[in-house]
């Protein structure tokens, strides 16, 4: 996908920080790795009924994949589509490794508290998610398996996981074209398997623009995605949702 003519809005998320917001149906969110090596842990919720959320198992098994990239859709636990990946210069996004937590960050990098280090404190993915979820009346029970955009993890025949450093380069981006009004919750804290011995989470830029009419065709070549998109259309056509 080419550079859009105009962004609706843009926001910079420093490494380790977190963000949440509503992405409307018909809008594309572009996430850009600013300096390379970023990790953007993301969850999706139906903005109108937040009990409907991203389902990792259905997303992977319906598309016969372990990773996400251009042409894949992110499915809800109600058989609908939150968004389609309509552009991707990275090529591999982790789906199975979850979030870093305070204990993991402390063991890997030591302790840097806000009282002494202010905005240079060591943040973790789980706490960032919980802070953002709390703004929308959600909490720990709503933390489900997330996507780690920009991060690559592979599994060998024994099921052992390997993190691939340098998977995402400076300026790499991924476009998420939304089919549902979606609450997006994001943490830019380090990936839990990142082997770096230095706490240096990468920054992520966010920008939204109107989805081009041809974009969704990128993921509807998969039959399960076609059915899930029909379910999503019915949500709005049959239940009085926004057009």
DSSP 136-178: TT--GGG----EEET--EEE-TT--EEE-TT-S-TT-EEEEEE
The predicted-structure confidence for 26-47, as pLDDT tens digits, reads as follows 999 999 999 999 999 999 999 9
Collapsing DSSP to helix, strand or coil, 67 comes out as coil
Question: Residues near 38 by Cβ (< 8 Å), separated by ≥ 6?
Answer: 15, 150, 168, 188, 201, 202, 203, 204
Specify if 204 maps to a domain.
yes
Specify if 92 maps to a domain.
yes
Q: Residues 179, 25: contact at Cβ < 8 Å?
A: yes
The predicted-structure confidence for 117-158, as pLDDT tens digits, reads as follows 656 679 999 999 999 999 999 999 999 999 999 999 999 999
Average pLDDT taken over every residue of the chain: 93
Q: Residues 20, 172: contact at Cβ < 8 Å?
A: no
pTM above 0.75, yes or no: yes
Specify if 219 maps to a domain.
yes
Is residue 233 over pLDDT 50? Answer: yes
d(CA 209, CA 4): 7
Percent of the chain at pLDDT exceeding 70: 93
The predicted-structure confidence for 95-113, as pLDDT tens digits, reads as follows 999 999 999 999 998 876 6
Using alpha carbons only, give the angle 102, 107, 109 rounded to the nearest 5 degrees: 90
pLDDT category of residue 2 using cuts at 50, 70 and 90 = low
d(CA 132, CA 135): 5
- Number of compact structural domains in the chain: 1
d(CA 232, CA 223): 14
Specify if 2 maps to a domain.
no
Is residue 243 over pLDDT 50? Answer: no
Specify if 241 maps to a domain.
no
- Residue 38: which of 219, 205, 223 has the closest Cα? 205
**Which residue range forms the structural domain that includes residue 215?**
9-235
Specify if 3 maps to a domain.
no
Specify if 242 maps to a domain.
no
Specify if 139 maps to a domain.
yes
């Amino acid at each position: 996908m080419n550079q859009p003519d105009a962004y609706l809005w843009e926001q910079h998320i420093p490494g380790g920080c977190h963000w949440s917001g509503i992405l409307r149906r018909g809008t594309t969110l572009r996430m850009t790795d600013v300096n390379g090596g970023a990790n953007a842990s993301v969850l999706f919720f139906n903005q109108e009924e937040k009990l409907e959320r991203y389902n990792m198992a259905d997303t992977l098994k319906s598309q016969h994949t372990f990773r996400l990239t251009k042409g894949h859709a992110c499915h809800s636990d109600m058989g609908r589509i939150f968004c389609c990946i309509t552009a991707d210069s990275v090529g591999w996004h982790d789906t199975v490794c979850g979030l870093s937590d305070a204990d993991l960050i402390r063991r890997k990098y030591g302790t840097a508290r806000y009282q002494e280090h202010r905005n240079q404190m060591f943040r973790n993915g789980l706490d960032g998610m919980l802070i953002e979820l709390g703004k929308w009346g959600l909490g720990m029970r709503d933390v489900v398996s997330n996507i780690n955009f920009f991060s690559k993890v592979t599994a060998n025949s024994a099921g052992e996981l390997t993190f691939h450093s340098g998977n995402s380069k400076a300026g790499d981006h991924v476009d998420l074209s939304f089919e549902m009004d979606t609450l997006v919750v994001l943490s830019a804290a380090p990936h839990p398997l990142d082997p770096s011995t230095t706490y240096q989470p990468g920054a992520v830029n966010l920008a939204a623009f109107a989805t081009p009419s041809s974009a969704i065709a990128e993921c509807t070549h998969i039959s399960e995605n076609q059915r899930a998109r029909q379910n999503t259309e019915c949500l709005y056509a049959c239940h009085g949702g926004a057009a």
